[in-house]
Amino acid sequence: MTDAAPLRVGLAGAGPWARKAYAPMLAAGPETLLAGVWARRPEAAHELAAAHGTAAFAEFDALLERCDAVAFAVPPHVQVELAIRAARAGRHLMLDKPLAIALEGAQRLVDEIERAGVVSQLMLTQRFRPSARRFVEAARRVPAIGARLAFLSSAFVRGPYATTWRRQHGALHDLGPHAFDLLVAALGPIVRIAGRGDPRRWVSLACEHQSGAVSDVVMSGVMQLPQSVFRIEVYGEAEVVEFDGVAAAGESPWAAARGAFADAVRTRRDGELNVRRGLMLQEVIERAMQALDAGER
């Protein structure tokens, strides 16, 4: 690939997220070219590929032969195994969140990516929206003592994303990566967590950050409210910085995400939102799960 040539990106997955986000983003260019689609359901791969004027592949390895990089829109446990194969083939990786279901799988993926020396980008879509970037920049300037985050949706009970893995594992794995990523970006690393609840219903966490700030987090994917809630408030002694993720949803992240990935591959330099960021978030998820288990005793 030359500096002027678009990055040939193959797409693994043809479900709702692939149709809504990844395929249109990659096909739009000019930094990328949608090089083909593979999915576990061949008919879905053919339908999505036809909609964007590209090829469908019956085998994942055949897709790897036609691309420089792979974007993943598959369940976390599937992503780990496919992304390892892609990394071993020297393909750069646009990864979905969470990296895996279990920390062990996330660590395996990190090890393989670093061994292969390929570029990775974790698709934390909020971070590619202008208002989220402004929020993080403003929050970092505040000598924060505390924060509150509420992330409430109906994702697990209705709509196209009420999939098996989301219903089984719940808020920590699906909503948690966005929540924890923004909290860490704003307040610094999380060093301790206490919590109560059930990830499949309602989670309440108290997080202590390395900076000394404390954040209170509530998440649920079974709230059938008229509108989702995704709100963060960061408090200093004399000021507050806020982010409304629902309002920010009107800001498209796709051009920024596509451009960042293509630039990272061209320069062979990962951005902040790479596989290591995903591993850190997986570690926070694991700690939160342990805190919930301890809270039940």
Summarised one tens digit per residue, pLDDT across range 16-69 is 999 999 999 999 999 999 999 999 999 999 999 999 999 999 999 999 999 999
| Chain position carrying tokens 């929020």 | 135
* Per-residue confidence (pLDDT) for residue 4, from 0 to 100: 67
Quick one: CA torsion of 202, 291, 151, 197, rounded to 10 degrees?
10
Q: What CATH homologous superfamily does 7-125+252-273 map to?
A: NAD(P)-binding Rossmann-like Domain (3.40.50.720)
Would the pLDDT of 285 be above 80? yes
* Per-residue confidence (pLDDT) for residue 43, from 0 to 100: 97
What are the residue ranges of helices labelled H in 52-163? 60-65, 76-88, 103-116, 130-141
Residue 187, classed as helix, strand or coil, is helix
127 in Cβ contact with 273 (< 8 Å): yes
In angstroms, what CA-CA distances link 166 with 22, 70, 172, 203, 221?
A: 19, 23, 10, 14, 9
* Per-residue confidence (pLDDT) for residue 160, from 0 to 100: 85
For the chain, where do the domains classified as CATH 3.40.50.720 start and end? 7-125+252-273
Would the pLDDT of 2 be above 50? no
When pLDDT is cut at 50, 70 and 90, the band that residue 296 belongs to is: low
Count the neighbouring beta carbons within 10 Å of the beta carbon of residue 58: 11
User: Strands, E, within 180-256: which ranges?
Assistant: 190-198, 202-209, 214-220, 229-235, 240-244
* Per-residue confidence (pLDDT) for residue 297, from 0 to 100: 40
When pLDDT is cut at 50, 70 and 90, the band that residue 3 belongs to is: low
71 compared with 158, residue with greater pLDDT:
71
Q: What is the CATH number of domain 130-249?
A: 3.30.360.10
Q: Average model confidence (pLDDT) for the chain? A: 96
pTM comes to 0.94
192 in Cβ contact with 208 (< 8 Å): yes
Percent of the chain clearing pLDDT 70 (strictly above): 98
* Per-residue confidence (pLDDT) for residue 89, from 0 to 100: 98
Mean pLDDT over residues 92-105, rounded? 98
Give the end-to-end CA distance of the chain in Å, rounded to a whole number. Answer: 56
Mean pLDDT over residues 123-139, rounded? 97
When pLDDT is cut at 50, 70 and 90, the band that residue 105 belongs to is: very high
For the chain, where do the domains classified as CATH 3.30.360.10 start and end? 130-249
d(CA 75, CA 190): 26
Mean pLDDT over residues 128-141, rounded? 97
Strand order of the sheet with strand 146-152? Answer: 190-198, 202-209, 214-220, 146-152, 229-235, 240-244
Would the pLDDT of 192 be above 60? yes
d(CA 205, CA 279): 20
